[in-house]
Structure 1
Amino acid sequence: MKSKKIKFLAYYLPQYHPIPENDEWWGKGFTEWTNVTKAKSLFRGHKQPNLPADLGFYDLRVPQVQIEQALLAKKNGIDGFIYYQYWFGNGKMLLGLPAERMLQNKDIDIPFCFCWANETWKGIWHGIDDPKVLIEQKYEGEEGYIRYFDYLLPFFKDDRYLKVDNKPMFHILRIEDIPNLQLFIKIFNSLAVQAGFDGIYFISTLVYNQELIIKDPNIYGHVGLDIFNKMRYGQTTIFNNNSLLQKIELKLKKLVGHTNKVGDRKRPLIFDYQKGVQNLEIKFPHEKYITCVFPNWDNSPRSGEKSMIFKNSTPAAWEKHLKKSISELRSNPENPPFVIIKSWNEWAEGNYLEPDQKYGLEWLAVVRKVKQHQLLNIQE
């Protein structure tokens, strides 16, 4: 890929300030740091807690935090943040404060867009046995979609908001869950045109029916979160696929709670990040596929024994992972020129680029190094 500049975009979690709902569910003053600091090692060689370094235990109600995050990200090759957005319908929004403060503060100088995390919140994702619904994702139809667009419009109009061909970029976590998807797309595109844009640059995330995405001309990209499964290749069982011994192994693992189903899991799933990188084969399945990468993963602070852990994640292995993805993207110049990094600051999932107390700035230094290398290749 010599004609296109690749942009590195990182998911951004806004759950670093108290809200009444989290106070009620998890205790007064709860933020993502609550889980991070109480994390414990679950097996020999498992390091927890992993704690922040340069930025500390920040509170996103403090404006200077987002200013420093933006400076740090841009200095190290991040081209923009993808803010998770929690719009539940009926005008209910959670954790919207950081983005709203950012909109008003031009000193937070980094491009951004939104990912609508349209997902019902359940306690099971926090490692508790009660899978009750905390807050339900609802879809209101035309009037609700218009209200949602009206909320988003000031962000879309901001000069920092990421746009492609005069279309604001808008990610949807679970696009197949929208019961009247074509109505939603039609309303958003129509209102965007009325506002002076050429539509919305829709990007899907979790998708089970890829044909839906491939055939829909209004959806421009699909984030490859299947990278997590690819990184587990060859590590899920001892015995070969579909063999009798493998079937017996899987049954025995399920009996002791070692399963992919979070609700039934009684012990963590553990994989080797370095082996995953070594075995990783990346092939884009279609022209809308957007490569996704992750530097580390250990959600035991949030999910305890129900967690999934990639041990042996290091900046050196992260660099190999990122280079493999860039190489495949450069071999597919027809695909969207983006690398989606999961994530900038999901600390309770052990999934972050921000400096930590073990490696400092090394996670970010890898991005800067690979970014500079790919820019040199473009100029050759």
Structure 2
Amino acid sequence: MMQQMTENSENNQEERAHSATALSRSLAETLVDQAKFPFRTFFAHLELALMRGIERLNFLSTKRQAKLRRQIAKRAPERFLAVTDHVETLQKSSGNQESTRPEFIPYEPDLDVPITDVRAVAFYLPQFHPFHENDLWWGKGFTEWTNVGKAQPLFTNHYQPHCPIHLGYYDLRISEVMVEQARIARQYAIGGFAYHFYWFGGKTLMERPLLSMLANPDVDMPFFLSWANENWTRRWDGRDSSVLIQQSHSTEDSRSMLRHIAEYMHDPRYIKIDGRPVFSVYRPRSIPDLAATVDIWREEARIQGLGDLYLIGIQRDPEEDHRPDGFDANLEFVPHGLSQTDISAAIELKSRSFSGKVYDYKAAVQIALDQSDLDINRYRSVMLGWDNTARSVNRAHIHVNFSIESYHHWLSELCRRARADKWRTPGERMVFINAWNEWAEGTHLEPDQRYGFAYLDATRRAVLGGD
């Protein structure tokens, strides 16, 4: 009872603190609607001062105090002002996207497939085809292209919509699409795809393209499976509200899934590290009795003639370590884990109903590169200009100030670190890219009308160590 009373007291205190902070933000936003940017900065300082006052009272639990300190760091004035310097320039530039358009790089069909000492692995979404469940949930014929094509810019110089070239608005039921994707990816130094794999208590979704790839050796690309073990919801965020299909974990289900994916792992294209098939998990800690589940997977893999597995746990924050639960390594999955500053107050938005967040891409790159790996055997990742406006519209999280140069710098540095890390064997020299084709999240290596093959050109140069 005393523990419950203490928890209730902490919750009440946190609610009061949250209410005070929310009141400050509400007042700031009301006045900001009628003010210019310096006034916005003043109220950002006011909110920060209030949060620092709450911190000094020291009435929250240790965990909540730590969370508050992280929020304060995000709102540090020097950090807010530094990133908004970029935005001010962006907002003052012409509304015509042509005037600020980076160099469009065309396809180079004669590029050779390079030999690399670092494997660049791009996450791959096998969604772009109609299937029964999406027809039921979203309407007949729905695919990600439905949202991508109707996206609209939310402020001046907001790059939307993203329109594909080369393969166009493709359909993954057509086998030649995956053959061509693999061909151009290898030309531009991509060394593997991490296919998102969707398993829900014995039911798979979006597996048709993966089965087609498995049956077609002309899809000449190494790969492994990455289990996206979260609920599907109408909000696209994996949370428990408005669940369309839910995860269901059990001992037998763990064995069944491993038996199901064994066919993939036996394929000669499947990526192995020191002979061990690689398998990654998106939300390891959502699995009840995780360590026992890992033991079941390893046991079943041996039964299936696969030997031992190489298991990678994807992180939600930079300090999360899945090795105590039986994983071999951790994997950063940006933008998760980046402690970024929301600069939406510095953006002249077209809609008052916008409730999302706006971040500065160049600042995100620096935040990522400043992180320590903390000796936790951590694979690093990069992203393109992450922006899920196509899915979330006024709830979107958007990165402004993206540039090919910043992306190239980020990936180049991670490749350098992959070569230098003492914990890695040659097979473990991998870096990850989010993503090959996350068009509805605005982060895709596949060429578009604005940049052409510039994303892929920068990737090849970074992996090969060029400027």
Structure 1 residue 333: Cα displacement: 2.7
Who wins on radius of gyration, i.e. which is larger? 2
**Which string of whole-angstrom CA distances, capped at 9 and with x for unpartnered residues, describes residues 223-274 of structure 1?**
1125554372xx3369xxxxxxxxxx9xxxxxxx99xxxxxx9422111112
SS at match of 2:190: coil
Deviation sequence 1:126-172 (CA, Å, 0-9, x none): 79xx941111111132x222221221111110000011122110000
The match for 1:72 is 184
TM-score, normalisation: structure 2: 0.69
Counterpart secondary structure, 2:164: coil
Give the root-mean-square deviation of aligned CA atoms: 2.6
Amino acid across the alignment from 1:162: I
Deviates more, 1:69-78 or 1:117-126: 117-126
**Alpha-carbon distance, 1:40 to partner:** 0.7
Provide the TM-score with structure 1 as the length reference: 0.84
Distance 2:163 2:229 in 1: 29
Deviation at 1:73, TM superposition (A): 0.6
1:105 aligned partner = 216
1:25: Cα distance to partner? 1.1
CA distance, structure 1, for counterparts of residue 393 and residue 231 of structure 2:
20
Count of paired positions: 342
Contact 1:126 1:302 in 2 (8 A): no
Q: 1:330 aligns with which of 406, 416, 419?
A: 419
1:174 paired residue number = 283
8 A Cα contact 2:343 2:360, kept in partner: no
Give the drift of 1:51: 0.6
- Alpha-carbon deviation of 1:121? 0.9
- Report what 1:352 is aligned to: 444
The change in CA–CA distance for 1:230 and 1:148 in structure 2 (over 3 A counts) is closer
- % of aligned pairs identical? 36
Per the alignment, residue 163 of structure 2 pairs with: 51
Return closer, same or farther for 1:291/1:106 CA change in 2, 3 Å cut-off: same
Task: Note the 1:99-178 alignment, pairs <5 A.
Answer: 99-125=210-236, 131-141=241-251, 143-178=252-287
Q: Which residue of 2 aligns with 1:197?
A: 306
Where does 1:225-236 land on structure 2 (aligned, <5 Å)?
A: 225=333, 228-230=336-338, 232=340, 235-236=341-342
Matched residue, 1:96: 207
CA distance in 2, matches of 1:226, 1:150: 30
Distance 2:415 2:335 in 1: 14
**Aligned partner of 2:455 among 363, 371, 375:** 363
Counterpart CA distance in 1 for 2:418 and 2:339 is 17
| Runs of 4 or more above 6 Å deviation | none
Equivalent of 1:277, from 351, 358, 365?
365
Given residue 374 of structure 2, which amino acid in structure 1 is its aligned partner? P
Question: Relative to 1, partners in 2 of residues 1:68 and 1:204: Cα closer, same or farther, differing over 3 Å?
Answer: same
Amino acid of the structure 1 residue aligned with 2:229: N
**Aligned pair in 2 of structure 1 residues 206, 149: CA closer, same or farther (>3 Å)?**
same
Give ranges in structure 2 of 5+ residues lacking alignment: 1-115, 346-350
Q: How far 1:212 moved relative to its partner?
A: 5.0
Q: Secondary structure at the match of 1:309?
A: strand
Partner Cα distance (1:183, 1:352) in 2: 36
Higher relative contact order (CA 8 A, sep 6+): 1
Q: One-letter code of the match for 2:313?
A: S
Q: Say which SS state the counterpart of residue 160 (structure 2) adopts.
A: coil
Paired residue secondary structure (2:463): helix
Unpaired runs of 5+ residues, structure 1, are 239-248, 250-256, 259-264
SS in 1 for 2:328: strand
Give the AA of the match of 1:112.
F
Change (3 A) 1:82 1:350: same
- Residue 113 of structure 1 deviates from its aligned partner by 0.5
| Aligned partner letter, 1:236 | D
